[in-house]
Structure 1
Amino acid sequence: MDSIQQSFTSRLQEHGIKLNETQLDQFEMYFKELVSWNEKMNLTGITEREPVYTKHFYDSISLAFFMDMDKIKTLADIGSGAGFPGIPLKICYPDLQLTIIDSLNKRISFLKNIVEKLNLTGVELIHGRAEEWGQKQGYRDHFDLVTARAVAKLALLNEWCLPFVRVDGTFAAMKGSDPTEEVKEATYSFKQLKGKLSKVEQFTLPVEEAERHIVFVQKRAATPQKYPRSPGVAAKAPLI
């Protein structure tokens, strides 16, 4: 274990997350594949090893600092991109049933490669739009936890993500800067989509000390059938 891995494991241990040798090997393989594939397609602007471990891996796992992940059986990651936060959480919690939905097929191809190289099981990778899959039986009102990291503003994310959450489940929107204004703007969408703001957690990334926020939303009732609306509608006319 080198210094970067040592810092990574120590910081996670402070939050009660212990990684074994297999999991550390998986993170290292993930890093190498990310950098390799990034030469062929635009997956991330961050390719240096320490920043990947901090800004992608640690940041993704931070969701588990504020939730009891042992109680989460099903997780959906919407607009996952290069697999964040879904894949790092899956590595830490191998029993999670993970579903990733992304609209770009080449990113799904990258994720299929990652799942294969890391020998991950219980992962479903879907090339498609959240608006379409949020209407499908077996996905709608189904997941214990749904998350999206740095994808869009909260009013828009609510319509994309809350339909996937089971009643009494949680939607967690992972944000960088202070989301106070976004939360205010999203008040109407909470009401329409049967979500209730639960809490907003703030923490600081190690090394560069950048602020991070996670908005937690509880699903109070089944999503009305008219949501999510057809692809593209929410982006043009968000519920605000």
Structure 2
Amino acid sequence: MTDELQRWFAERVQADLGIELSDAQLNQYETYYRLLVEWNEKMNLTGITERGAVYEKHFYDSLTLGVLPEAVSARSMADIGAGAGFPSIPFKIAFPQLEVTIVDSLAKRIRFLQTVVDELKLNSAVLVHGRAEDIGRLGDHRDRYDLVTARAVARLAGLNELCLPFVKSEGHFVAMKGTDHAVELEESARSIRLLNAKLRYTRSLQLPLEQSERQLIVIGKLGKTPKEYPRKAGIPLKQPLI
């Protein structure tokens, strides 16, 4: 049985983002919420645990990808530094046919995410433990994905070097950011160019209740990643390509 919050969530997601959710999918979000709170008592996954806030600031926020044609049409997705699974797991629930790879450097977060994937019975969801700089050099992952995402991981100039090596030619990297992204965009121009990519456009949205602003920065990949990138683990964020 769905309750008032779930009905509100389903209505807002359909009205704002054009995504229709079934009762079975709403049950998956609720199970995800329960697991998030349960595991958060043992390890630091999120500072947001109030149920309504999780639905708005984590689930709805993740699903804002649904306004992008590049995201909706993607067949494969990699989520870099996914933390507690945002945006990839909420997006995977909404688009179950999507092949999802989640990369995170912390083994205990991967254990949590494996539990989520198992309990929600998510098919074609692969969890990879490691640094993005190392995984992005492996043949199974390099220049491979239609869609690559990162949500509030780092400043864009460093983030580009972590994420763009995963994107295939003609694919897209979407950086999910808060309000002030103009300076980050300006300082990331060199990294975008060096990584054989191009800024396509940005899209602004607001969370429905809190009204805080969100930015989706869409970067297109023009061809293969130059062989010198990514640099060794730790360097892209310490010495970004500015």
Q: Is this a same-fold pair by TM over 0.5?
A: yes
Of 107-116 and 62-71, deviating more is 62-71
Query: Is residue 149–residue 173 contact of structure 2 (8 Å, CA) maintained in 1?
Result: yes
SS in 2 for 1:121: coil
SS in 1 for 2:139: coil
Query: Is residue 70–residue 147 contact of structure 2 (8 Å, CA) maintained in 1?
Result: no
Counterpart of 1:89? Answer: 91
Whole-Å Cα distance in 1 between the matches of residues 224 and 68 of structure 2?
24
Whole-Å Cα distance in 2 between the matches of residues 116 and 211 of structure 1?
33
1:29-50: CA deviations, max 9, x gaps? 0000000000000000000000
Identical columns (%): 51
1:149-184: CA deviations, max 9, x gaps? 000000011000000000010000000122111000
For residues 53-68 of structure 1, the aligned pairs below 5 Å read: 53-68=55-70
For residues 1-240 of structure 1, the aligned pairs below 5 Å read: 1-14=2-15, 15-240=17-242
SS in 2 for 1:144: strand
Alignment size in residue pairs: 240
Whole-Å Cα distance in 1 between the matches of residues 196 and 66 of structure 2?
24
Gaps of 5+ in 1: none
Quote how far apart the aligned CAs of 1:114 are: 0.2
Whole-Å Cα distance in 2 between the matches of residues 201 and 16 of structure 1?
16
Whole-Å Cα distance in 1 between the matches of residues 167 and 241 of structure 2?
18
1:77-111: CA deviations, max 9, x gaps? 00000000000000000010000000001100000
Structure-1-length-normalised TM-score: 0.98
Amino acid of the residue matched to residue 3 of structure 1? Answer: E
Gaps of 5+ in 2: none
Structure-2-length-normalised TM-score: 0.97
Moved over 3 A (4+): none
Whole-Å Cα distance in 2 between the matches of residues 124 and 203 of structure 1?
29
SS in 2 for 1:212: strand
1:189-228: CA deviations, max 9, x gaps? 0110011000011011011111100100000111100100
Query: Is residue 18–residue 66 contact of structure 2 (8 Å, CA) maintained in 1?
Result: no
Whole-Å Cα distance in 1 between the matches of residues 10 and 123 of structure 2?
23
Whole-Å Cα distance in 1 between the matches of residues 21 and 223 of structure 2?
36
Amino acid of the residue matched to residue 9 of structure 2? Answer: F
SS in 2 for 1:173: strand
Whole-Å Cα distance in 2 between the matches of residues 118 and 186 of structure 1?
37
SS in 2 for 1:209: coil
Change (3 A) 1:70 1:152: closer
Amino acid of the residue matched to residue 184 of structure 1? Answer: E
Whole-Å Cα distance in 1 between the matches of residues 35 and 18 of structure 2?
28
Amino acid of the residue matched to residue 26 of structure 1? Answer: Q
Change (3 A) 1:238 1:70: closer
SS in 1 for 2:149: strand
Amino acid of the residue matched to residue 218 of structure 2? Answer: F
Quote how far apart the aligned CAs of 1:69 are: 4.1
